[in-house]
């Protein structure tokens, strides 16, 4: 019985560990709830990150988060692999600034008679 309990506990821990941090957190776009999934970041520190971002602009690197009051080396080290600073794109940037797909067929207007 003791072995079964241990196996169940190990399975539960394995499943929870995979669920807790499935993808890296983009610290440039994350809301308070998402930021609190980082180790050592509660609602107050999450709000400090958001406030810093609003005042200073987007983070240029993950290391820049250490400039936020209350975020130090321990929190940084615990979360370094779980944070990213992917650039933010707006809908107009993704459609208007997207490079044309050179493999896509191009429509050629038909010639009209009399020209």
Under a CB-based contact definition with an 8 Å cutoff, are residues 83 and 62 in contact?
yes
Residue 103, domain member (yes or no): no
Sequence-distant (≥ 6) Cβ neighbours of residue 62 within 8 angstroms = 27, 76, 80, 83, 84, 85
Query: Quick check: helix, strand or coil at residue 87?
Result: coil
Range of the domain at 80: 24-88
Residue 74, domain member (yes or no): yes
Residue 2, domain member (yes or no): no
Residue 109, domain member (yes or no): no
CATH number at residue 64: 1.10.150.280
Picking from 40, 48, 46, 43, the residue whose alpha carbon sits closest to that of residue 69 is: 48
Residue 95, domain member (yes or no): no
List, for residues 53-112, the tens digit of each pLDDT value.
999 999 999 999 999 999 999 999 999 999 999 865 544 333 333 444 445 454 444 555
Residue 101, domain member (yes or no): no
> What does pTM read for this prediction?
0.59
Residue 98, domain member (yes or no): no
- What's the structural domain count of the chain? 1
Per-residue exposure over 59-68, b if at least 16 CB sit within 10 Å of its own CB, e if not: beebeebeeb
């Amino acid at each position: 019985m003791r072995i079964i309990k241990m196996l169940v506990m190990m399975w539960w821990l394995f499943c929870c560990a995979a669920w807790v941090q499935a993808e890296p957190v983009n610290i440039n776009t994350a809301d308070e709830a998402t930021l609190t999934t980082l180790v050592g970041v509660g609602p107050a520190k999450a709000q400090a990150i958001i406030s810093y971002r609003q005042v200073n602009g987007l983070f240029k690197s993950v290391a820049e988060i250490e400039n936020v009051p209350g975020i130090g080396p321990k929190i940084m080290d615990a979360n370094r692999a779980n944070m990213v600073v992917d650039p933010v794109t707006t809908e107009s940037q993704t459609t208007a600034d997207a490079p044309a797909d050179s493999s896509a067929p191009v429509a050629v207007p038909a010639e009209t008679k009399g020209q």
